[in-house]
C-alpha cells in the first residue's frame, strides 16, 4: 500500500476534503519554514502545539458526548477546570492542600473526580429532553465555578494556584518540548481508542440513540445507560485535558472556567464536523488559530492605530463564525462519512461507491 493510498483511505475520504487538507499542509509547511528561518520562535510554536493538543482532547471529549450520543453538554469548561484543579491542588507545593504529590496522582484524581461528578450531573439530567440538558449543564457548571471561586480554604479562590510542577522533568528535552510530546502521545492514544470505540457495537448503539432514541429503545437498549457511559467517558477526557493544561501553564485560576471556554470547544466540534474525530482535531486547530491569531491584530498598524480592543473583535468573530457555520455548513468541514464501517468490510463496497461518487461529479453527500 503506497503512502498516498494510505492517506486517502484513512484521512481524506472525499475529493472535496482534499482542499481542506491542502490548506492545513500549507499552513504547517509555512510554520516549519518560519521556525527554520527564525521568524517563529520554537518555544512559541511548541506552546501552540500543546494548546492545540489540549483543545483537541477537549473536542474529542465533547465529540463523544454530542457527536456520538447527541448529548448537549454545556459544562465543558467545568470538567476541564475540575481536571486542572485536581492536578494543581495535589501537585503544587504551595496549593492550600500543600501535598506536592507526583503529577501521576493529579491525573488519577482528575479521572476519578470527573467520573464521579459526571455521574452526579448525569443522573438527574440525562433523562431530560435534550435542550433541558443544555440549560441544566450550563447551570451546574456555574455552580462548580462558584464553588471553586468561593471556597478559598480549599481552592485558593480567585488568586489561583501557582508553582505547579512540570511534566517528566527527566526527559532530555526543554519543558515545552516535553509537554508538546506528552499531549501528542496522549492525543494519538485517545484518538485511536475513540476511533475503535466508535466502530464497536457500543459506538453503533450510541449512533442509533443519536438519530432515533425510540428506535434504540425498541431494540431493547437501555439508552440511559449508554448515554451515561458516553457522558462519563467524554467528561474524563475533558478532565485529562484540564490536568494537562495545569502542567502546561503552571498556573490556574477560576477565570478560565467561564462559559465562553465551553463555547470555543463547541465551535471546534461543529466546525470540524459533528461526530467526526478527525474534524474535532482540525476544529481545535482552527479555534486556536483564531484565538492566538487575533492577539497579533494590534501589531497590524491599521488596526493598532484605531485603538480598538482586540478581545471584543475576537468575540465578534467567534459569534459570526458560529452563525455562518450553522447556516451554511452545519455538517462541518470534515463530516463523518464511512468511518463507522469496519475497514475489512469497506474494501469492496467503498471502491464501488467512490466510482459512483466520481461519476456524479464527486459531489459531497
Report the interface residues with other proteins, using CB under 8 A: 72, 124-125, 128-132, 134-136, 138-140, 142-143, 146-147, 150, 259, 263, 266, 270, 308-309, 311-313, 315-316, 318-323, 326-327, 330
Contact call for residues 79 and 62 (beta carbons, < 8 A)? no
Measure CA 212 to chain center.
25
Decide whether 29 or 260 has the Cβ nearer to other proteins: 260
CB of 52 to other proteins, least distance (A): 22
Partners of 162 in the β-ladder: 251
| Residues 262/264/270/272 CA torsion (nearest 10 deg) | -130
Q: Which is nearer to other proteins, 170 or 328 (CB)?
A: 328
Q: How far is the CB of 339 from other proteins (least distance, A)?
A: 22
Supply the minimum distance, in Å, between the C-beta of residue 76 and other proteins.
13
**CB of residue 306 vs other proteins: minimum separation in angstroms?**
11
Give how far Cα 32 sits from Cα of 3, 82, 101, 290, Å.
21, 35, 37, 19
Kindly state the smallest distance separating residue 70's Cβ from other proteins, in Å. Answer: 9
Q: Which is nearer to other proteins, 130 or 222 (CB)?
A: 130
Q: Cell 447556516 sits at which residue?
A: 327
Of 11 and 326, the one with the shorter C-beta distance to other proteins is 326
Nearer to other proteins, 179 or 261 (CB): 261
Nearest to other proteins of 169, 319 (CB atom): 319
Distance of alpha carbon 67 from alpha carbon 87, whole angstroms: 28
CB of residue 120 to other proteins, shortest distance in Å: 11
Write phi, then psi, for 330 (nearest 5 degrees): -60, -20
What φ, ψ does residue 343 adopt, rounded to 5°? -50, -40
321: number of Cβ within 10 Å: 16
Task: In whole angstroms, give the CA distance from residue 61 to residue 191.
Answer: 10
Query: What DSSP string runs through 42-56?
Result: HHHHHHHHHHHHHHH
Q: How far is CA 308 from CA 70, 290, 297, 314, in A?
A: 39, 17, 10, 11
We find the least distance from the C-beta atom of residue 117 to other proteins, in angstroms, to be 14
Provide the minimum distance between the beta carbon of 302 and other proteins in the complex, in angstroms, as a whole number: 16
Of the candidates 195, 199, 224, 231, the residue with the CA atom closest to the CA atom of residue 209: 224
100 vs 139, beta carbon nearer other proteins: 139
DSSP code per residue over 189-209? HHHHHHHHHHHSHHHHHHHHH
58 versus 176: smaller Cβ distance to other proteins? 58
Q: Using CA atoms, how far apart are residues 364 and 349, in angstroms rounded to an integer?
A: 18
Compare residues 171 and 311 and give the one whose CB is closer to other proteins: 311
Question: Based on CB atoms, which residue is closest to other proteins, 48 or 155?
Answer: 155
Strands (E) located in the chain: 161-162, 251-252
Taking the C-alpha atoms of residue 352 and residue 225, their distance in angstroms, rounded to an integer, is: 38
Please report how close the Cβ of residue 308 comes to other proteins at its closest, in angstroms.
7
Q: Which triple of cell numbers denotes residue 364?
A: 459531497
Least distance CB 270 / other proteins (angstroms): 7
Amino acid at each position: 500500500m503506497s503512502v498516498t493510498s494510505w492517506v486517502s483511505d484513512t484521512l481524506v475520504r472525499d475529493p472535496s476534503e482534499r482542499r481542506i487538507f491542502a490548506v492545513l499542509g500549507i499552513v504547517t509547511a509555512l510554520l516549519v519554514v518560519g521556525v527554520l528561518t527564525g521568524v517563529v520562535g520554537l518555544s512559541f510554536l511548541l506552546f501552540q502545539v500543546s494548546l492545540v493538543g489540549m483543545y483537541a482532547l477537549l473536542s474529542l471529549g465533547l465529540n463523544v458526548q454530542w457527536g456520538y450520543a447527541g448529548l448537549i453538554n454545556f459544562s465543558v469548561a467545568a470538567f476541564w477546570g475540575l481536571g486542572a484543579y485536581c492536578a494543581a491542588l495535589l501537585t503544587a507545593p504551595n496549593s492550600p492542600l500543600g501535598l506536592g504529590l507526583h503529577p501521576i496522582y493529579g491525573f488519577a484524581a482528575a479521572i476519578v473526580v470527573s467520573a464521579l461528578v459526571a455521574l452526579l450531573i448525569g443522573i438527574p439530567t440525562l433523562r431530560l429532553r435534550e435542550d433541558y440538558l443544555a440549560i441544566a449543564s450550563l447551570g451546574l457548571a456555574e455552580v462548580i465555578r462558584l464553588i471553586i471561586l468561593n471556597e478559598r480554604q480549599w481552592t485558593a479562590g480567585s488568586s489561583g494556584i501557582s508553582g505547579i510542577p512540570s511534566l517528566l522533568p527527566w526527559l532530555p528535552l526543554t519543558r515545552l518540548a516535553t509537554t508538546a510530546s506528552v499531549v501528542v502521545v496522549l492525543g494519538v492514544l485517545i484518538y485511536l481508542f475513540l476511533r475503535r470505540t466508535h466502530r464497536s457495537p457500543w459506538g453503533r448503539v450510541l449512533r442509533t440513540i443519536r438519530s432515533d432514541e425510540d428506535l434504540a429503545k425498541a431494540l431493547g437498549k437501555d439508552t440511559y445507560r449508554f448515554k451515561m457511559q458516553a457522558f462519563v467517558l467524554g467528561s474524563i477526557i475533558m478532565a485529562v485535558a484540564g490536568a494537562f493544561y495545569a502542567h502546561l501553564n503552571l498556573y490556574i485560576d477560576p477565570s478560565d472556567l467561564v462559559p465562553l471556554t465551553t463555547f470555543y470547544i463547541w465551535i471546534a466540534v461543529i466546525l470540524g464536523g459533528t461526530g467526526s474525530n478527525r474534524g474535532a482535531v482540525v476544529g481545535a486547530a482552527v479555534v486556536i488559530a483564531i484565538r492566538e491569531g487575533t492577539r497579533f491584530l494590534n501589531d497590524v498598524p491599521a488596526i493598532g492605530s484605531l485603538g480598538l480592543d482586540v478581545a471584543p473583535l475576537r468575540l465578534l468573530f467567534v459569534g459570526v463564525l458560529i452563525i455562518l457555520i450553522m447556516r451554511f455548513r452545519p455538517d462541518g468541514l470534515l463530516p463523518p462519512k464511512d468511518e463507522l464501517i469496519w475497514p475489512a468490510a469497506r474494501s469492496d463496497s467503498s471502491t464501488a461507491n467512490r466510482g459512483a461518487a466520481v461519476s456524479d461529479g464527486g459531489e459531497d453527500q
